[in-house]
Structure 1
Amino acid sequence: MNIRYASLTDVGVRRSHNQDACATQPASDASVFRTQGHVFIVADGMGGHAVGEKASAKAVRDIPLTYLKHVVHEGPAAAIRRAFREANEAIYGIGQNNPEFKGLGTTGTALFLRSEGAWLGHVGDSRAYRIRGNRIQQLTFDHSWVWEVARRQGIDPDELGDFKKNVIIRSLGPDAEVEADLEGPHPLEPGDRFLLCSDGLSNVVPADELAAVASTFPPDEACRYLVALANLRGGPDNITCLIVQAPGGPGDGSESTRRRGVFGLIRRAAVGWNRFVPWAFTTLGAGVLAAGVSVWLRAEGIPGAVGAFGAAAILILTGLVGLYLHLRLRAEQTSDDPGYVPQELRLYRDYAFEIGKPLVDRFVDMDSSLIEVLKDQDIGEVRETHVKYSAEAAEATGRGDWAAAFRAQFQALQVLAAVYHQHRHKDEVFQPNWVTKTRAAQ
């Protein structure tokens, strides 16, 4: 998998130290990918700046190393569980042996991309999202008090407001043992994007904006823009963003991206169908159907019965071979990983998003408010760039190209945000007037 990925961690506006950490461990070649896969992880430390930094740094170092050491012989599920268990034991041991590190702990959310799909290991309230088409899906459960209460009451966590929102009930380090959530494998589709982040990002940037930025810009730009947006919204916590893009997405230059028209539609339909019905079963079904047609043609005396029978034989034989390979692969996965129990693939939240006029207007209004805030600042060096992007956004809006309008408008906002961040103080909060006078008059 020729993936694209990027990561960025930032102290934010309010904090003096960065307790977040992240790490990327892509496979070095195709053979390593087949046996181990790619590994990505985000961690958010807790317990005072020195303590939190130590916990998160150890988590993002130890979990990938332990997984890579054991996955070939134990299988992905067992290796992921072992990696989280041993990381927890090590962090717990540091806290027990050093009184000054009392309260040592960290979240940990890790993505493992393999040939069979995406696996996730997870403890805490850092999150993993998948962006596919026009949907953003949260693949992890927040181990927080508000999410646990919401689960017990069968309601959406947002219905509880800020009720104990920042109370974490499960993390790596505070206890001798911890249960890590294991999710997957989620089948991959061309262009899938995965976003891992700490709550410093997800608490201040809503899901539709996360999806819009991550799906519009390349991973490196998207990470920079999302961190800047979180800081613009106040940056109350450390911010970490990690984005991974599977091949086949818009603009990656891959062969699948260049396939257009009918062939592209057929290919996407086939990929979608194979997610639910493996190709071996589809081929067997087609073979049985061809055999039925052969019998009917022979009974009716219509030419072509022999050809239909030959096609049926080939399809059934191919389907039987495919079924054998499918069952053998399942058996190998089970024998390599006796701790793996197939489970339902869970989407803890599933949002539709649209890059349209309301979203573009939201950032136009934010841009206007930021211009007002910066009216007394000298922005001469960036004014020309801001005007250029703003003009592109207006032109795209005029022709109804909302994707291009969003891209240009967001880049215009980022130009001003960079100036604002250079001159702001820790106690300053940007509070935009979301409905400007100009827009209200319209």
Structure 2
Amino acid sequence: MRLEQTVQYSSRSDIGLRRRNNQDSCVVQICTDREEWKNHGHLFMVADGMGGHAAGELASKMAVDTIPHTFFKSRDLSIKEALKKAIVIANNSINRRGTENPDFERMGTTCTTLVLSPRGAIVGHVGDSRCYRIREGQIDQLSFDHSLQWELIRRGKMKPEEVFMTEPRHVITRSLGPDPVVEVDVEGPYPTIPGDIYLLCSDGLTGHVQDEEIGAIVSQLPIGEACRLLINLANVRGGSDNVTVIIAKVGALPEGTPSEDEEEAITPEQRKRGIFWLVAAWILAILFVVGVSLTVLGEKLPGAISIALSVILSGALFFFWNRTRQAYSAKNNNLDETVSSKPYRSASARLTPKFLSHLAAVESELYQTIQEENWTVNQKELNDAYEKSKKGLSEKNYSVAMRQFARAIDIMMEGMNNYRKQINHDSKWKEDDSTS
């Protein structure tokens, strides 16, 4: 990936319908400086806090403050090493804060961080928040859920169809903060291509919206509208938790740039090594040609010595080159860290008539509710979205239909949120009047 490739992104966080406060946090930091891009890359992060009082909120806030700051401050480390170090330092900070105050004891947070870098997409991960990639009609989960369900499947204790029916979903096995030492997964680098879309989210989304639905929505809608529809769907289906979504889309290569997927910047050290190998190869070639020439001219002994010397030196040079290449590869790929070249699971991201029918049903149910509850909505905009969605369906223009369904649902959910705010406001005033 190149710095010149634009990255469109959108982020949104919602309290949901059942929680009193939002314990999710998120952050996006885009590079503008070429040196910073080469050494680090663009960073996207979601954290889902947990703990009583305001502990979860504090833990997730500390994570999104500490990790980007530490990551971009790191020098003389590879991108993967810097990301892992930043997550470990965040864990130490949250754990230390938790031990200092009984109210914050064992507070914690998940952490899912995506770095888009010259080497590709790298994911640093602890907990059950997720990172997805949507590409060419398919959605891939790039992070492993550190949950009881997924751990039982990985260890072969239960089959997926059994574990999802019998074991609790929200029991996580790793998080930042509760313990002084944490195991961090660092995945990748995954090659990036123009048009790739990455999505990070808390489990408030994946608890209510399926992978196939996420993929279809993100594939069809502009990223800002996709964020809103995903959160609206999670809330329509219960809104049992805070919901946070970040979507990032990789832009096309600018005209005139090479078409390689990943840019390998040539450093002065690499350039010097290249010149050395080129000169050495030329010297050995000349030595071999001289040996052959001497042999042809009748100087067999000097010719044989020259040829033998060129062959021996070529072998030694190849051995030295191979050792140098392996050392360089180990340094840059961080073989001591978790590396995965395949997604943990995949699903179709294609829009289907069945999903459109579901969105139509959601729209219809919401409309009936606003009539019964007397929510205030922009009726003109709502009618316009409804008519355009019907037209899109009749013409089998499913992308248009989906966008208009999303628009109508957003208008009605905004009306619901305003209604709930008014109810809470009126309730607060009644409490104040009764105590005065």
TM-score of the aligned structures, taking structure 2 as reference length:
0.75
Quote the Cα distance in structure 2 between the aligned partners of 1:108 and 1:144. 13
Structure 2: give runs of 5+ residues left out of the alignment. Answer: 263-322, 424-436
Inter-CA distance 346–231: structure 2 relative to 1 (3 Å threshold): same
Match in the other structure for 2:368: 372
1:287-366 equivalent positions in 2, closer than 5 A: 332=328, 334-335=330-331, 343-366=339-362
Deviation at residue 78 of structure 1 after TM alignment: 1.3
Structure 1: give runs of 5+ residues left out of the alignment. Answer: 249-253, 257-266, 273-326, 428-442
| SS, match of residue 345 in structure 1 | coil
Inter-CA distance 74–329: structure 2 relative to 1 (3 Å threshold): farther
Deviation at residue 422 of structure 1 after TM alignment: 2.5
CA RMSD of superposed structures (Å): 2.9
* Residue number among 24, 27, 50 corresponding to 1:23 in the alignment: 27
Q: Deviations over 1:373-420 (max 9, x none)?
A: 222344675222122112212212222221121111221222222222
Letter in structure 2 aligned against 1:349? R
Letter in structure 2 aligned against 1:140? S
Of stretches 210-219 and 99-108 in structure 1, the one that deviates more from structure 2 is 210-219
Deviation at residue 52 of structure 1 after TM alignment: 0.7
TM-score of the aligned structures, taking structure 1 as reference length:
0.74
Quote the Cα distance in structure 2 between the aligned partners of 1:337 and 1:133. 27
Letter in structure 2 aligned against 1:121? G
Letter in structure 2 aligned against 1:368? S
1:128-207 equivalent positions in 2, closer than 5 A: 128-153=131-156, 155-156=159-160, 159-161=163-165, 163-207=167-211
* Residue number among 393, 410, 418 corresponding to 2:414 in the alignment: 418
The question of 1:84 aligning with 2:80 is answered no
Quote the Cα distance in structure 2 between the aligned partners of 1:194 and 1:158. 30
Inter-CA distance 243–338: structure 2 relative to 1 (3 Å threshold): closer
Q: Deviations over 1:83-134 (max 9, x none)?
A: 1111111111111222221121111000011011000000001111111121
Q: Deviations over 1:219-260 (max 9, x none)?
A: 223222222222222211111111111003xxxxx768xxxx
The question of 1:33 aligning with 2:33 is answered no
Inter-CA distance 112–15: structure 2 relative to 1 (3 Å threshold): same
Quote the Cα distance in structure 1 between the aligned partners of 2:166 and 2:380. 42
Inter-CA distance 174–413: structure 2 relative to 1 (3 Å threshold): same
Deviation at residue 425 of structure 1 after TM alignment: 8.5
Match in the other structure for 1:228: 232
Deviation at residue 177 of structure 1 after TM alignment: 0.5
- Contact residue 377 and residue 412 of structure 2 kept, 8 A: no
Number of aligned pairs? 358
Q: Deviations over 1:153-201 (max 9, x none)?
A: 3632675226221111111111110101110001001111111011111
- Contact residue 18 and residue 239 of structure 2 kept, 8 A: yes
Q: Max radius of gyration: which structure? A: 2
- Contact residue 132 and residue 191 of structure 1 kept, 8 A: yes
Quote the Cα distance in structure 1 between the aligned partners of 2:54 and 2:220. 37
Deviation at residue 50 of structure 1 after TM alignment: 1.2
Match in the other structure for 2:400: 404
Match in the other structure for 1:393: 389
1:43-82 equivalent positions in 2, closer than 5 A: 43-70=47-74, 72-82=75-85
| SS, match of residue 204 in structure 1 | coil
Quote the Cα distance in structure 2 between the aligned partners of 1:86 and 1:396. 51
Letter in structure 1 aligned against 2:110? T
Q: Percent of pairs identical after alignment?
A: 36
